[in-house]
Amino acid sequence: MADIARITEIVEPEAKALGFDLVRVRYFKGGEIGDEEHTLQIMAERPETGQLVIEDCAALSHRISDRIDALEEAGEVLIEEAYRLEVSSPGIDRPLTRRKDFAAWTGHEARIELSELLGERKRFRGDLKGFDEAADTISIEDDGETYQVPFALVANAKLVLTDRLIAASRPLDTSGADEILEEQED
């Protein structure tokens, strides 16, 4: 299995060199039924827009591939088996992986799954109410009750796609939109 912490150490400076923030590094097998291929998934964003355009993804993919190839030539094998490298923007219903994500998306609906029980619960779905840096906890309102969830227990979290989220999301990059050609029917 791949050492995600080591891969993150390698990927993060490559993302930073291009002006991107690293959102998530994940390594998994499959994705579709019967798919045996492994995937190294890298999510990053431009801090000013919260997105990556296709050219950004390609540039980051090339940097990461070159860096991993150089390390392998020097004798450090990061991933033993064959894998697919996937570089993408986090998207609108993005994963929440960093403390600043929970603070930035306060007021929006999220799903949070914990690595262990908190009281008698492991899953929460509701509006994010804030992030307390001092206590290192996420405040989430679920079914009318507000819970303080320790950041250290978060196994998986993401925004829920809602009309409110769509309305609040930053506009997508529209470069090239003025180059759209319309065809007329004869």
Q: End-to-end alpha-carbon separation of the chain, Å? A: 58
Q: For helices 4-17 and 54-73, give the axis angle rounded to 10 degrees.
A: 130
- Residue 36: which pLDDT band, with cuts at 50, 70 and 90? confident
Rounded to whole angstroms, how far apart are CA atoms 63 and 44? Answer: 13
Q: Is 140 helix (H, G, I), strand (E, B) or coil?
A: strand
Query: Which segments within 47-150 are labelled E, that is strand?
Result: 83-88, 109-118, 121-132, 137-142, 145-150
**Which strands sit side by side in the sheet containing 38-45, from one edge to the other?**
21-29, 38-45, 83-88
User: Which residues in the chain are classed under CATH 3.30.300.70?
Assistant: 4-88
- 21-29 and 38-45 as β-strands: parallel, antiparallel, unpaired? antiparallel
In this predicted structure, the answer to whether residue 129 has a pLDDT above a threshold of 60 is yes
User: Which residues in the chain are classed under CATH 2.30.30.180?
Assistant: 99-167
Retrieve residue 55's tokens: 């050219």
Name the more confident of 183 and 43.
43
12 phi and psi angles, rounded to 5 deg:
-55, -45
In this predicted structure, the answer to whether residue 20 has a pLDDT above a threshold of 70 is yes
Enumerate residues 6+ apart whose C-beta is below 8 A from 43.
Answer: 22, 23, 24, 25, 26, 87, 88, 89, 90, 94, 95
Rounded to whole angstroms, how far apart are CA atoms 48 and 58? Answer: 19
CB atoms < 10 A from the CB of 179, how many?
6
Residues 120-149, mean pLDDT to the nearest whole number: 97
pLDDT of amino acid 31: 61
CB atoms < 10 A from the CB of 40, how many?
21
In this predicted structure, the answer to whether residue 150 has a pLDDT above a threshold of 60 is yes
Superfamily of domain 99-167: Ribosome maturation factor RimP, C-terminal domain (2.30.30.180)
Residues 158-178, mean pLDDT to the nearest whole number: 74
DSSP 185: P
Range in 7-16, 27-36, 115-124, 156-165 the model is least confident about = 27-36
Name the more confident of 47 and 178.
47
- Residue 176: which pLDDT band, with cuts at 50, 70 and 90? low
pLDDT of amino acid 50: 87
Retrieve residue 153's tokens: 């227990």
Fold exhibited by the domain 4-88: GMP Synthetase; Chain A, domain 3 (3.30.300)
Q: If you average pLDDT over every residue of the chain, what do you get?
A: 90
